[in-house]
Amino acid sequence: MNTAIVPPAAATRSVTDRTAVGARLALPLFRSLSGSLAGHPYLKVVVDRAEDTWHLLDTAVHPFHVDYIATRVLGMELAELDSCLDAFNASVYTAPDRRFLLGVLSLHTDQDTQGRRWPFLVLETTEADTMDGPLLEEFYTFVRHRLDGRLPLLLKPANHGQEHALAPISDVRVPRILSHELFGHRTRTPLNPGEATGRLRHFRTTEEYVAAAGALRGSDILAMPCLPDDVPRVAGFINTAATTPLSHTNVLAAGWGIPNAIVRDLDRLIQAGSLAGGWVRYRVTEDDISLVPIVPATVPTTAPARHRHRIRLRTPLLDDISARSLHRLRLADQNRYGTKAAHLGELHHVLHTRAADLTAFHGQPRPPRPDLYRHLAARLGTTHPAAPGELRSAAADFVAETVGAPDGVALPFGLQHRFVLSSPALREGVIGLRAALDGDAPEALDPLCRRLQQLVRTTTLPDEVAREILRALPTGPAAGRRLVVRSSANAEDLPGFSAAGLYTSVTSVHGADHLLDAVREVWASLLSPRSVRLRHEAGISLDDTYMGVIVQPYVPAALGGVLVTCNPTRRSDFRNVFLNCSPGSPEAVVDGTALPLQYLYNTVEGGGRTVALGASGTDLPAATRERLAHLALAGRLLQSHFSAPDVDHPLDIEWLMTDQGTFHLVQIRPYAR
């Protein structure tokens, strides 16, 4: 076997290109060529089947396999490659008789029961690669024979299709590891990027946290196994146990712009660096997490002041107290019925009329491509249409056939406003709370809020208000059905203020009296100490804040969860949709009571992979995962409408799947603005 170093392409290149061709790979060469991805060293490899050799790419010089193959191996110009990029990609990623096999080698470590650690390599293709089982075995065998024999090598299927293709092949011939096995238990995982300086407060139990919660400050960096949904706004979060990027607390971290990560070895870091209770600089990026103690001289003597800016809400319209069916609402109704209700009404409109353009996301330039229409046509099972209208029609049909909008009734802000005006005690309480906020008297807030909440729960409803609420009760054959009562405020899903988990939903309501109580409970959540405090910190006026309510028939769920139309740990990734689910209703995922299954679905080239099995321990059947891939694409297409005009801004969608396999979307909102 010959070994060569590929020279620079031009004399003007200032960086030496150390790409090796035909070399035997040992750790020193790997480390000299590798970069870092998700905290692990990695190296791009190209196997040339025609020449019976391989290329180990210098990561600093060659970020893309196809650029290297086209320019260095085939002698093409980049402009020529750009002009035929999709066809070229097909020739290296999907053609059964392809000349080149492309992949990545990443370096990991394992540990035995005595604490001894050793390195091993993992080989995988790109996520959209369609290699069949024999080709994957050939790829693995080729690389195995050219490695230092002391380095164990495992093949990681890049998608569910490759897992299926490998099933008939012995794992003795092709030792393998699945994505969730490799990454589901890794020590450190970035969740939300950011940087903060603060005092590290580490609580190992909920009891420790509860005992100290009243003394937490905005400059603290809060670390514990499972952060509670009612966590206060602090400088940073650290989870010391597994969680999901779609937890309420991480959505809050994203909305607040604070760093968040999983750091399972925090105890060891604290002991090694004497960090307990000390001031640290905490930094989270897509590829790294760091906690650095601050020299005492640089520690601020007071907590950093939080910049407060006023978030201006749209003027709420309070004149109308009419309950209205969700299917009659549109986006413009959010000033009367709240964001959640208006979005569900708009969803009804989109699915019924099939007139919305759901292709705008795919129409954005993704250089060097002018658009992704050809990829969308392939996902929808159509030929690339000459007329944009044909693709729009196919996209609208696909979404309408994949998901449904929930039935229900929306109660407007005007009902809550009329209720407060009817009670002198409530009006007086609101005046007192406003005075406490204006006077910056934090010690008075909690008792005032709790007293107001109790007044809301116990004050008799005016007859006209009660009548409108009871109009939401199902009649006819549906009478007596279990109901779900959800919040729909105007102070949520805002730039800089997501309010994830802040307001109350009541998920098991039966009969008229229970419905009236549930509506008051949702109204009361607008006045909880935490919601009042967080809105005040964000500059949202108490006088501008109102609560609408959604009343929906309960739909039994075989599977439920949340998807966001992005990769939350790598926001530059425009291909993937991240989806979480657990058996039963979506609430088990969003409130953190169950660690969910986690998936990534590529909505451009297709394919999906399992990121974590969560509490389930076993993966879902292949047919169910394929259904979830359709749901992920439907979510991506809805982003084109609900995120307009900034169609690159992702959506956060709660959904459930019935025993019949039907998907219902129960909430659509912007994700972590």
Residue 325 scores a pLDDT above 80: yes
Closest by CA to 20, choosing from 43, 36, 42, 37, is 43
pLDDT digit string, tens, across residues 182-235: 876 678 889 999 999 999 999 999 999 999 988 899 999 999 998 988 888 899
* Bridging pattern class, strands 260-263 and 236-239: parallel
E strand or H helix that includes residue 121: strand 117-124
E strand or H helix that includes residue 212: helix 206-212
Contacts of 128 (CB under 8 A, 6+ apart): 93, 94, 158, 159, 602, 604, 605, 606, 607
* Whole-number pLDDT of residue 337: 97
pLDDT digit string, tens, across residues 61-79: 999 999 999 999 999 999 9
Q: Which amino acid is at 203?
A: F
- Residues 654 and 588: beta-carbon distance below 8 Å: no
Fold: same for 188-298 and 412-553: no
- Structure confidence at residue 464 as a pLDDT band (50, 70, 90): very high
- Residues 199 and 221: beta-carbon distance below 8 Å: yes
* Whole-number pLDDT of residue 117: 80
Closest by CA to 536, choosing from 527, 525, 549, is 527
Q: What is the mean pLDDT of the chain?
A: 90
pLDDT digit string, tens, across residues 122-162: 999 998 899 999 999 999 999 999 999 999 999 999 999 99
CA–CA separation, 545 and 20 (whole Å): 63
Average pLDDT estimate for 1-30: 69
Domain assignments of the chain as residue spans, ordered by start? 4-177, 188-298, 352-402+556-670, 412-553
User: Cα-flanking dihedrals φ and ψ of residue 73, to 5°?
Assistant: -95, -45
pLDDT digit string, tens, across residues 655-666: 999 999 999 999
Here the contacts of 435-440 (C-beta below 8 Å, separation 24 or greater) are 437/532, 437/536, 437/542
Mapped onto helix, strand or coil, the DSSP state of residue 206 is: helix
E strand or H helix that includes residue 384: none
* Whole-number pLDDT of residue 311: 76
- Residues 629 and 608: beta-carbon distance below 8 Å: yes
- Residues 105 and 45: beta-carbon distance below 8 Å: yes
Residue 47 scores a pLDDT above 60: yes
Please give the class, per CATH, of domain 188-298.
Answer: alpha beta
Q: Which DSSP letter does residue 342 get?
A: H
Residue with the larger pLDDT of the pair 268 and 25: 25
CA–CA separation, 336 and 329 (whole Å): 10
* Bridging pattern class, strands 506-509 and 40-48: unpaired
* Whole-number pLDDT of residue 518: 98
Average pLDDT estimate for 261-275: 87
CA–CA separation, 164 and 650 (whole Å): 30
CA–CA separation, 590 and 585 (whole Å): 10
Identify the CATH assignment for 352-402+556-670 out of 3.30.470.20, 3.40.50.720, 1.10.760.10, 3.40.50.300.
3.30.470.20
Cis before 645 (ω within 30): yes
Query: Considering the domain 412-553 in this protein, what is its CATH number?
Result: 3.30.1490.20
Q: Which amino acid is at 634?
A: A
The mean-pLDDT minimum among 46-55, 111-120, 551-560 falls in 111-120
- Residue 289 corresponds to which tokens in the numbers above? 């997490």
* Whole-number pLDDT of residue 468: 96
Residue 304 scores a pLDDT above 50: no
Q: Which amino acid is at 582?
A: S
